[in-house]
Amino acid sequence: MFFPRSTSIPPTLLVEADGYQLGCHLRRTHPDAGWVVYFHGNGELAAECDRYCGSLFDEAGVNVCFAEYRGYGASGGEPALAGMLGDGERVVAALGVSAGRVAAFGRSLGSLYAIELARRLPGLAGLVIESGVAALADLWPLDLVAEAAGYGAGSAAEALASCFDHRSKLKGYTGPQLVLHAAGDDLLDPSHAERLYAWGGGADKRLVVFPRGDHNTILPANSVEYAAELRAFFRDIGLSAGAAARAPS
């Protein structure tokens, strides 16, 4: 599930997490704008995302923190599916900004941690899910893995239901939500996006299924439309530079 790699690129924000430090990467280009906390996919690094898509957020008028996972990049520790659920909240605290000036962004596996951040901080300005996971069991046979490792047959299913019930988590988040997906996603079919969109608890939500690209080419295949969706979303929720901040709901 996890593919951690190290990097020689020094982080620009260190976040304490259970005795470890998370090596995150900041792009602070708009002093009067809000923040996006970006959770990447399982085969990516925060430093890579900074180089690959950081300019998208610059152009959208927001600051961005590419959060790093335990064991990835310059971070200490080891990745753990449920053990990292609280790390997003730690990143927001380290940024020193209120939840109302932050949007969570989760790509692929990162959707788990963006959704969890919205659950923990329901006052977030917004939530973006790109190529997200509606149900982990659809992607990985974790119940079979657990059984092969000597655990009870239902132990993994019970743990997943307890920690990753995205339906209930999203129902409790009533803020603005943007769901992006590629029609040709060969790892997570668009039904994941449809469920994530349907489960959102607020009325201000938008689902965009791009006609081109797949799980790993969604951005380059739809670069113009993708950037436009981000600009409009961050502007409308009041996070971008020069935009009026929304009053708390």
pTM of this prediction?
A: 0.94
Residue 247 has pLDDT above 90, yes or no: no
Strand ranges for the chain from DSSP E: 13-17, 20-27, 35-39, 63-67, 102-107, 126-130, 177-182, 205-210
Q: Which residue has the tokens 């019930």?
A: 165
Instruction: Find, among 6, 60, 58, the residue nearest to 231 by Cα.
Output: 60
DSSP characters over 138-150: GT--HHHHHHHTT
Mean pLDDT of 144-151: 69
- Token readout for 88 is 């997003």
User: Considering the chain, what is the average pLDDT of its residues?
Assistant: 93
Residue 190 has pLDDT above 50, yes or no: yes
Residue 136 binned pLDDT confidence (cut-offs 50, 70, 90): confident
Give the pLDDT score at 249: 46
Domains of the chain by residue range = 13-236
Span 13-236: which CATH code? 3.40.50.1820
Residue 157 binned pLDDT confidence (cut-offs 50, 70, 90): confident
pLDDT in tens, 207-230: 999 999 999 999 999 999 999 999
